[in-house]
Structure 1
C-alpha cells in the first residue's frame, strides 16, 4: 500500500513564521489556492481514502481533494500537530528572547523542557500509531492520502523508516501543501520512501 503524506496549505501564522502547534488556525487565501493547485496531482494518484488531522487547516486542505475525488474525509485525532506549549503563537525572535537556553537546546536538536512542548519521541509514538490504525484497515494495494502537519509528518515518517527520531534529522519538514510518499515493503523497516516535498 501507499501512504501519501500531505501537509496543509499556508496559514497566516505560516506567513508570519509563527509556531502554530495545536492552535486551530484556518488556511489563508494562499493556502486555499495551494490546495486547489496540488489537488489535481493527488487526484491523479487515484487515492482510495483521505484521512486528516482535526485541525481546521488540515481539514480544509483535505476537503479540497475530497471534493475533487468524490471521497469523504475521515478525521483521525492522532494526526494532530505536535504541541509546542508556551511557544505557540510566537516567532523565533520572541522565543529566543523569552527562553534563550531552551531555544538554544531546541536549535541544537534537543528537547525544550518545562514548556509543555511535546517531545519528538512522543510525537513519533502518537502519529505512528495513528498511521498504523489507518493501515490496519487498508487493502494491500490501497493508497491513502493523509493530511496533517509539518512536524507531525516528518517525525512519523522518520519513525516508519526505522530511524531514532530523538537523534536523526534526515527528513526536513514538508513545505506548505507539499507531500511525501511511503510504500509498504516486505523487508525492514517495512516502508520505502519514494518521494518527499513533492507538489
Structure 2
C-alpha cells in the first residue's frame, strides 16, 4: 500500500512568509494552480481515494486533485492537522528567532507529539482504505515530522517541503518505509539529511 503525502497549495500567508499552523487560511489562485499541477504529476499511478486534513487549504487542494484524477474525495482526519504554533501564528517567519529565540511559543503543540500523531493518522487511513493507494493532503511540518518519525531522523534535518509537493510512503509487513521526499528518491534525500546533521553537530 502506497500513500502520497502532499503538502497543500499556496496561501497568502505562505506567500507573505507568515507562520500559519492551525490558522485556517484559504488557498490563493497560485495554490489552486499548484494543486492542478500536482494532479498531473500523480496521474501515472492508480489511486483509490484522496483524503485530507480538516483545514480548508488542505481540503480544497484534495478536492482539486481528486476532481482532476477522477478519484473520490473521502473523509478528513484530525490527525493530519498542522502543528499548533500557538501565539506565533500570523507572525513573519523572519521575526520568529528575535521574538522567541528558543521557539517556545505559548500554546504550541510539542514537537515530539507531531510525528507520532501523523503516524496514527496513516494507520487509520490504512484501516479505512483496505490496501488501496491513497492520496493524503496535509501540511509541511506535519509531513516532515511524520517522515522523520518513520526514518528515525530529526525533522529539522529534513528538507523544506514546497507547496503541493508529494512524498511517498509505503506500508509493508514490518512497518512504514519512506520511498521519496518531495519527488526525490529517499536514498538521495538521506545523504542530505546526514550532511545537515553533521553540519549542525559541528556548529554546536
* Global fold match (TM > 0.5): yes
- Verify: 1:41 aligned to 2:26, yes or no: no
Q: 4+ residue runs of structure 1 moved beyond 4 angstroms? A: none
Check whether the contact 2:36–2:68 (CA below 8 A) recurs between aligned residues.
Answer: no
Q: Unaligned stretches of 5+ in structure 2?
A: 185-204
The offset of 1:197, in angstroms, is: 0.9
TM-score by length of 2: 0.82
Within a 5 Å distance, the mapping from 1:1-199 to structure 2 comes to: 1-70=1-70, 71-99=72-100, 103=101, 105-106=102-103, 112=104, 115-140=106-131, 142-161=132-151, 163=152, 167=154, 169-187=156-174, 190-198=175-183
User: Aligned pairs, how many?
Assistant: 183
* Distance change in 2, residues 1:172/1:68 (3 Å): same
Superposed CA RMSD: 1.9
More helix by share: 2
* Distance change in 2, residues 1:34/1:50 (3 Å): same
Q: Distance in 1 between matches of 2:75 and 2:43?
A: 17
Check whether the contact 2:150–2:178 (CA below 8 A) recurs between aligned residues.
Answer: no
* Distance change in 2, residues 1:178/1:87 (3 Å): same
Q: Distance in 2 between matches of 1:73 and 1:59?
A: 10
